Each structure stands twice: as structure tokens, then as C-alpha cells.
Amino acid sequence: MGSPVPGAQGTPPAAAGGTPPAASSTSPGLKPPTRRGSELFLLAFAALLVTIALILVEANQEQELTMRIVWLGLAYLGLLSVAHFAVRRWAPYADPVILPCVALLNGLGLVMIHRIDLAMADVKLPKGVVWSPAAPKQVLWTAIALVLFCTALKVLSDHRTLARYGYTCGFLGLVALVLPGVLPSFIAPEINGAKIWLSFGAFSIQPGEFAKILLMVFFAAFLVSKRELFTTAGRRVLGMDLPRARDLGPLVAAWLVGVSIMVLQKDLGSSLLFFGIVLVLLYVATERAAWVVLGVVMFCVGAVAAWKMFGHVQIRVQNWLDPFADAANKGYQIVQSLFGLGTGGLFGAGLGGGRPDQIPEANTDFITAVIGEELGFVGLAAVLLIYTVFAMRGMRGALAVRDTFGKLLGGGLAFAVAFQIFIVVGGVTKLIPMTGITAPFLSYGGSSLLANYILVALLLRISDAARAPKTTPKPRPQQPAIADQFTVMVERPK
């Protein structure tokens, strides 16, 4: 735990403060490399890829190829550079791969949203409808998100500060989560069957996206402070230590929240995502598989009950089992998604060469299906691998950071992104029932983008803390030795 060297096994928590950290981070004068240069290089590479993607789309869509594209590419690089310098200034030891991954995904998302704009404009024009393009709005959102990202990095100089606001975060998160479900529909309209938006005129937000992070902060803080409580074993059943019944509180609470999202907001994806994240946090905090088993059982019970009781759940399951049964109506979306993916095949129809207009919600929930159609399996796999690299680097930061809160929060955030992409892409490719949540960074949507950039800022902050040399050497020489001895004393009689 205390070692910043990746791959080292965790040592007992009590030893954390005292074990001498790896030589590089303590030796005076020998600072570890910040790797900001690598980050800048990777960012430029990401901007280049995004520019090439834009050129391909424009060429395939018979748009005029002008120098404008190059300027757009450079502008994007400029935006990224702002983020890069913010990292350089406020989190110099942060992981150098995370931001380029995000930049590539966000840029690819912008290109795809622009590409879908072109397709939709093409479809709507003969009907006399003018399609209002989504890409410019998404560019604006990206800019706002980057401002928020920089602000978060600057304001939050130490992620442990967040732990202090755990309960505040929890309260705000819960309110944000439940708000659209309970508010009247003139302010929280039901869009595509889900009641997850708050609408203020032309401007609408999805508070659930922010709730996800706020609740994660709360759970991490809560679990860290009450860790001992949850590790106390209850009865032993089938070789598994079951938690005591009274410690089930948080799990039951999370379960209730998940179910209420499903019922009040008809948002299966968020419900699944939220519950999965809480389970993982519990598991990491307690190191007990029993929580996971218990949680999965509870989830299954809830899912079966929901399936029995709610028509919209039954439709989703039916569409998953056999979308072709009603390919023209209920199964239309998933069938079109599969057709797009199949038509794309191994190498895809080429950027700008597919038919994204065939898939409803192409620029939000189904954007990965459009990528699969136009860039083929190869492109979809590449995108999945970028997400994997992103999540794994986040996880690496969590492994390397020294404090338990940071570990828990970092691990949770990294898992949240991976799990969300699993739910989205799994739904689009018919691995699991389609639940309708956005692909982080790729999908069109301001709330999602803002929230996910905050998530990136947190991950960078944690990875920075993991790699940074200790600036304030506060030697606490004696404490750990005692702690060590104490542990040894307890162990001996066994």
C-alpha cells in the first residue's frame, strides 16, 4: 500500500505511514520525472488523429476540403494545451497517459457528432426540416468542461480534502439523483421514456451525471471512516464470512436508491451503474467477496422483481433476447445497431461512409454503434482499448497513492468509467439488455462531458499525489514502529 512502485503487494495498513517510500521519491535533489513532455507529445498525436478523422469525414461526405480543418485541428490542440498547462502547473506528477486518452476520445466524439449532423441534415432537408447541428454545442461544452477541469485541479490541491465533505457530497448527490424523478414534468420532462433531465428553457442538464461522482466521494469517505465496522465478521456460511445484519445498512440504502432510480426515472443504465459502483467500493474497502455476492443476489432479486412489475423493463429484456421479433418497432433501435455493426464488419465503411441516420439516438447512446459501423471492429476495438488504458492508468494511480481515501476514490472512479462503457457498448452490441446511458467523452451531452472531466481531474489529482515526491517531510519516526510491534504481538499466538 505504501509503495509507489506498481506491482508491489499491499502491506498491512498500519505500516503505511512509516515504510520508507521508494528511493526516488525521498532522495533529496533527485525528483522523479514529471513526464509532462510525454503528455504533450501524446496530446499532439491525439489532435493529429482527430484532425485526420475530420478530414476523412469531410472528404467522404463530399464537403469542401479547406484549410479550415487544419485550423480546427490546431484549435483543438490549443484547447488541450490549456488543459496540459493546467496539469503542468497544478498536478505536475500526474499520469501522462490519462489526459491524451480523454483528448482522443473527446475529439473522436466531436468528429462523430459532426458526422452524424451531416447525415441528419441530409435526411431532414428533403422534408423541409433544418437539423440544428449538435457539434458546435458540444465544442462549447468541451470548452466549459475544460475550464471546470482546470478549476478543479487548481482548487483541489489535495484530494483528501474531499473526504472532509463526504456527507455534504452524499446529501447533494442524493438530491441531484432523485430530483428529476420527483419533480413535476414541466421542469423534469420524460424524454425517450427516462425522467432524468432538468430542463430550464433551452438549457437542460442531467444531474445524475454529477450525482455519480458526488456519491462516489461520499461512499469512499464513509467507508474509509467506518472501515473497521464493516470488516467485523458476522456468521460464517459456506466458507464465507457474512457481514453482520446491522452493517448491511449502506448496502440496503444503495440498493433502495438503485431501485428508486429504476422506478421513478425508468433509467435502468444509471441504476445498474450506481449499484455496481457501490458494490465495488464496498468490496475494495472491506476486502470481502461476501459483499459482492450479497450485492449481486440483491441486484438479481431487484432485477427480477422489476422485470415482473414494469412493462418498460420487459420490453428491454425482450429486445435483448430477440430484437428481430419486433424489428420494425420495439426492436428497431438495437436491430439497426446490429445492422450497422455487421455492415461495418472488420474494417468498417470508412469515416463518413456509413448510415448513422438509420440508428435513432446515434449521437448519444448509440455513438459506439456508429463508430463500429464506420471504423469497423478494428475501430471499435481501438476505442475500447483507449478506455481500457484510461481506466487502468486510473487504477494504477489508485494502487500507488498512499492514503486509503485516495485508493478507494481512485479505484471507484476508474471502475465507474470501465463499467459505464461496459453497459453502453454491451447494450449496443446486444451482450446485455440495452439500458441507455452515454459513452463517457464520446456521446453528445453537456452534463456527461462536464461530470466526466471532473472525474478526470480527480484521477489526475490522485495519480499526482501517488507520484509526487513528498514536499512536506514530516517525519513520524516512532509511530509506525510501535504499530508494527503491535501487529506482530497479535499475530504471534496463532
Partner 1 sequence: MNKPLRRVGLAMMAMMLLLLANATYVQVIKADDYRKDPLNRRVVLDQYSRERGQIIAAGGEPLATVEKTTDRLRYLRKYQGAAFAPVTGFFSTVYGSSGLERAEDDLLNGSDDRLFARRVSDLITGRDPKGGSLQLTIDAALQRVAFEQLQGVNGSVVAIRPQTGEILAMASTPSYDPNALASHDVEEQMAAWKALNAPDGDLPMLNRSIAGLYAPGSTFKLIVAAAALAEGKTKDSEVDGRPVITLPGTNTPLPNYNDTNCGNGVTATLQEALAKSCNTAFAVLADQLGPEKLRKAAAKFGFDDQDLNIPMPVETSRLGPMTERPAVYQTGIGQRDVLVTPLENAVVAATIANGGVRMRPHLVQKILAPDLQVISEDKGDDVEDAMKVDHAHALRDMMVESEKNTAGGGKLSGVTIASKTGTAEHGENVKNTKPHAWYVAFAPAEKPEIAIAVIVENGGDAGLAATGGRVAAPLGRAVVGAYLGSR
Which residues in this chain contact partner 1 in the complex, by CB under 8 A? 1, 8-10, 13, 122-123, 125-126, 280, 283-285, 287, 324, 327-328, 335, 338-346, 354-355, 357-358, 372, 376-377, 380-381, 384-385, 387-388, 391-392, 395, 398-399, 404, 407-408, 411, 414-415, 418-419, 421-422, 425-426, 429-431
CB of 43 to partner 1, least distance (A): 24
Residues present in the chain in total: 494
CB of 433 to partner 1, least distance (A): 13
d(CA 225, CA 491): 24
Cα 24 to chain center, whole Å? 32
Of residues 139 and 292, the one with the C-beta less far from partner 1: 292
Of residues 226 and 430, the one with the C-beta less far from partner 1: 430
CB of 430 to partner 1, least distance (A): 7
- For strand 233-237 and strand 203-205, is the pairing parallel, antiparallel, or unpaired? unpaired
What interhelical angle do 404-428 and 332-344 show, nearest 10? 90
CB of 132 to partner 1, least distance (A): 19
| Phi, psi dihedral angles at 17 (to 5 degrees) | -65, -30
CB of 118 to partner 1, least distance (A): 12
What are the CA-CA distances from residue 252 to residues 202, 259, 294 (Å)? 38, 10, 10
Of residues 204 and 388, the one with the C-beta less far from partner 1: 388
CB of 191 to partner 1, least distance (A): 26
Residues linked to residue 233 through DSSP beta bridges, in sequence order? 243
Of residues 188 and 281, the one with the C-beta less far from partner 1: 281
d(CA 37, CA 96): 8
Q: Which of 108, 8, 97, 107 is nearest to 389 (CA)?
A: 97
What are the CA-CA distances from residue 298 to residues 55, 73, 253, 302, 314 (Å)? 49, 48, 12, 6, 19
d(CA 106, CA 67): 22
Of residues 259 and 277, the one with the C-beta less far from partner 1: 277
Could you tell me if 83 and 112 are in contact, meaning their C-beta atoms sit under 8 angstroms apart? no
CB of 368 to partner 1, least distance (A): 9
Of residues 122 and 190, the one with the C-beta less far from partner 1: 122
CB of 491 to partner 1, least distance (A): 18
Please tell me what DSSP assigns to residue 475: -
Q: Where are the alpha helices (DSSP H) in 287-331?
A: 289-309, 311-321
Residues linked to residue 194 through DSSP beta bridges, in sequence order? 191
Of residues 177 and 369, the one with the C-beta less far from partner 1: 369
Of residues 90 and 419, the one with the C-beta less far from partner 1: 419
CB of 422 to partner 1, least distance (A): 4
Of residues 47 and 254, the one with the C-beta less far from partner 1: 254
Give buried/exposed letters for 409-431 (b at 16+ CB in 10 A, else e).
bbbbbbbbbbbbbbbbbebbbbe
CB of 151 to partner 1, least distance (A): 28
Of residues 9 and 478, the one with the C-beta less far from partner 1: 9
Of residues 79 and 285, the one with the C-beta less far from partner 1: 285
CB of 271 to partner 1, least distance (A): 18
CB of 275 to partner 1, least distance (A): 15
Of residues 283 and 310, the one with the C-beta less far from partner 1: 283
Please tell me what DSSP assigns to residue 133: P
The x, y and z cell numbers of residue 442, run together, are 464520446
**Share of the chain residues as helix, strand and coil, in percent rounded to the nearest 5:** 70, 5, 30
Contacts of 356-361 with C-beta under 8 Å, sequence gap 24+, read 356/115, 356/116, 356/119, 357/116, 357/119, 357/120, 357/122, 357/123, 359/333, 360/332, 360/333, 360/336, 361/192, 361/333, 361/436
Of residues 213 and 414, the one with the C-beta less far from partner 1: 414
CB of 331 to partner 1, least distance (A): 10
Q: Which of 440, 383, 33, 41 is nearest to 212 (CA)?
A: 440
Distance in Å from the first CA to the final CA of the chain? 24
